[in-house]
Amino acid sequence: MSLNRIDESRPFVPVGIAVVTVSDTRSLADDKSGRTLVERLEASGHVLKAREIVTDDIDRIRDVVTRLTRDPEVDVVITTGGTGFTGRDVTPEALEPIFEKRMDGFSALFHRISYDKIGTSTIQSRATGGVLNATYVFVLPGSPGACKDAWDGILAAQLDYRHMPCNFVEIMPRLDEHLRRGAARTVGT
């Protein structure tokens, strides 16, 4: 018996997802990675809440992602691009310092899946994930293949409320507990 399964007695719960492509050269018309993510999330039954392109600039990336995580209709932000080692690849530098919680397991699992497809070349990606403003943020490489691997191998299951033994959707209402707990202490003191 597989440890991963779909519990058909549970309803599917669509989540709101924003896709952000980080690139100095792409437009919506030629953004294959962003389009790959949009096609997959919509085919899975989720709702695209925003699709943006931002240049490879730490402050601009941080501003766009922070704004999207503050939108109550956005449950997940997925970025694509800027995870390599060249001078313009700054997406992890923009986002990891502002994560409230890092998701080291996402990176580890992404690299495991990627290794099976592209071998040691996976080491050239700094894919990462975390939580910001009680919103999941996933930072993916800028290739359609990497976006497919991350969606098909991780996100499709974890963003499905029916996925067992656990999934990201069922804990979404509790992602801001530390913020609410801090606010309660402030009010009570």
Q: What is the CATH number of the domain that holds 131?
A: 3.40.980.10
Domain that holds residue 150: 13-188
- Can you list the positions of beta strands (E) in the chain? 5-6, 16-22, 47-54, 76-80, 101-102, 128-132, 135-140, 163-164
Measured CA to CA, the distance from residue 152 to residue 189 in angstroms comes to 47
Cβ atoms < 10 Å from Cβ of 149 = 22
**Residues 113, 171 contacting (CB under 8 angstroms):** no
Measured CA to CA, the distance from residue 186 to residue 189 in angstroms comes to 5
Whether the per-residue pLDDT at 188 is higher than 50: the answer is no
Asked if residue 1 is part of any domain, the answer here is no
- Give me the number of domains the chain comprises: 1
Asked if residue 5 is part of any domain, the answer here is no
Token representation of residue 132: 């910001």
* CA proximity to 109, closest of 79, 153, 76: 153
Q: Which amino acid is at 118?
A: I
Asked if residue 3 is part of any domain, the answer here is no
Asked if residue 90 is part of any domain, the answer here is yes
Asked if residue 173 is part of any domain, the answer here is yes
pLDDT category, 184, cuts 50, 70, 90?
very low
Measured CA to CA, the distance from residue 34 to residue 19 in angstroms comes to 6
pLDDT category, 185, cuts 50, 70, 90?
very low
Asked if residue 145 is part of any domain, the answer here is yes
Residue of higher predicted confidence among 187 and 20: 20
pLDDT in tens, 16-51: 999 999 999 999 999 999 999 999 999 999 999 999
Asked if residue 29 is part of any domain, the answer here is yes
Asked if residue 125 is part of any domain, the answer here is yes
